[in-house]
Amino acid sequence: MDEKKLPQIRLSGFTGEWETTKLGDVTERVTRKNSNMESTLPLTISAQHGLVDQISFFNSQVASQNISNYYLLMNGEFAYNKSTSQDYPVGAVKRLDRYDMGVLSTLYILFKPREEVSSDYLVTYFDSDYWHKEIKLRAAEGARNHGLLNISPDDFFDIDINVPKDINEQQAIGILLQRVDVFVSQRRAKLEKLQALRSSMLEKMFPRDGADIPEIRFKGFTEGWKEYSFENITFPAGTRNSDNIQYESYSITNEAGFVPQNEQFSNGGTMKDADKRMYIIVEPNSFTYNPARINVGSIGYQHLDHNVIVSSLYEVFKTTGDCHDRFLWYWFKTKTFRKMIEQLQEGGVRLYFYYDKLCMCSIKMPNIAEQTRIAEYFEKLDELIFVCSKELDKLQSLKKGLLGKMFV
């Protein structure tokens, strides 16, 4: 028996070798036109949501005004988009599940499954990359036409696919992987809601331009917020590592914030030097940023319980007792702070932004008790986002692993 015709992971109760067949032997091409304007819903393919209407995806219709010559796709039928991208190196195949019908450009290749193959199996099979090699073999080498693979319908339906001989096994595979998809979608939706809540509350829990109090406050706090000069609530911090102590090296990135240097550079980057006497010691609860690249994302907060070091190019500062450091950390993420930075950038040119220039900013703050409540709220929200993000990563990793091992 050819072991290549058996998947690495198999559902209990199913045995026997899988078979190879042509896609065209188990599916039927669909070429019906929207001649009678049965549908006025132009569709497109989304990486996360499959076939969706263009207005939802693009916030506008990119299809031609006259869609009577478009293909008409019915619920349960499939469409192949030959357009390539990073997520879809050979294009994408998706089934129409969201609507009763919709229309697609004739650049798409449409088809529906025959009785010999499970529709749910095809959904998950085309989520895997097992069919990619077949497409690449048939597409003209290196040929692209405005990002479209040069593959004809005849060549597409000629690709080989491997399927279990038992249609019940096909169906079971499809159902299992689509259940994982449901969990992924639910977790992603929860993460997006949490992120949207965070963005909204960053604007509503800090005063907007000209206001003395925020739109949303915790119960029991009624005093107006007071304006402080940045130089009155912070002070320069950080000392030279003159004793050459081998502290762990850190850096600031827009994406991840305060991160170990070895996570940013595989070779240690500029912090690989054994002699680190020129670097700056950053104590816990300090802020750091690169004055050549300051923006809201590139200010980092040293949240660890031990000292670390950063490049001598960095500016380091701490807060006074009048300002809760985590309250300030979240204020840095507001649009108010972003506007201040933009206004202080002379002529729109990104210049060096040293600590003395940062001191030209002002901030409106409540008493320390309210600052603490606000900081604690966002810390809890960040923790929920972190946990949800990790859960999503695990589910996506599970799906990727199953897709890689449940097919032949």
Q: What is the DSSP code string of 260-303?
A: EHHHH-TT-GGG--S--TTSEEE-TT-EEE-TTS-SGGGEEE--
pLDDT at 351 over 60: yes
Most confident by average pLDDT, 58-72, 108-122, 145-159, 253-267 = 108-122
Q: How far apart are CA 98 and CA 358, in angstroms?
A: 51
Pairwise pLDDT comparison (77 vs 267), residue with the higher score:
77
DSSP string, 10-54: --TT--S--EEEEHHHHEEEE--B-TT-----BEEEETTTEEEEH
pLDDT at 330 over 80: yes
CB of 301 closer than 8 Å to CB of 268: no
The pTM is what? 0.83
CB of 105 closer than 8 Å to CB of 383: no
pLDDT at 347 over 60: no
pLDDT at 378: 97
Average of pLDDT values for 169-179?
96
For the ranges 37-51, 214-228, 293-307, which has the lowest average pLDDT? 293-307
pLDDT at 145 over 70: no
Instruction: Identify residue 247 by its one-letter amino acid code.
Output: Y
Q: How far apart are CA 121 and CA 87, in angstroms?
A: 21
pLDDT tens-digit series, residues 354-373:
899 889 999 999 999 999 99
pLDDT at 398: 96
The DSSP call for residue 249 is B
pLDDT at 379: 97
pLDDT at 78: 98
pLDDT-derived band at 149 (thresholds 50, 70, 90) equals confident
Q: How far apart are CA 201 and CA 107, in angstroms?
A: 44
pLDDT at 64: 61
pLDDT at 65 over 90: no
pLDDT at 54: 84
pLDDT at 375 over 50: yes
Pairwise pLDDT comparison (232 vs 292), residue with the higher score:
232
pLDDT-derived band at 1 (thresholds 50, 70, 90) equals very low
Which superfamily is assigned to 226-365 in CATH?
A: DNA methylase specificity domains (3.90.220.20)
pLDDT at 395 over 90: yes
Collapse the DSSP code of 85 into the 3-class scheme (helix H, G, I; strand E, B; otherwise coil) and give the result.
Answer: coil
pLDDT tens-digit series, residues 239-264:
999 999 989 999 887 666 788 876 55
SS (H, E, C) 326-372: HHHHHHCCCHHHHHHHHHHCHHHCCCCCCHHHHCCCEEEECCHHHHH
pLDDT at 137 over 80: yes
pLDDT at 147: 62
pLDDT at 296: 59
* Four-point Cα dihedral 292, 298, 302, 303, nearest 10: 180
pLDDT at 190: 97
Average of pLDDT values for 3-11?
85
pLDDT at 22: 97
Average of pLDDT values for 40-53?
86
At 17, give phi and psi (nearest 5°): -75, 145
Question: Any idea which residue has 């219709």 for tokens?
Answer: 61
Average per-residue pLDDT in the chain?
89
What 57-64 contacts at long range (C-beta under 8 Å, 24+ apart), as own/partner pairs, is 63/103, 63/105
Measured CA angle at 6 (ends 5, 7), to 5 deg: 125
* Four-point Cα dihedral 169, 174, 177, 179, nearest 10: -110
pLDDT at 341: 84
pLDDT at 144: 46
Q: What is the CATH number of domain 19-163?
A: 3.90.220.20
Residues of the chain with CATH 3.90.220.20: 19-163, 226-365
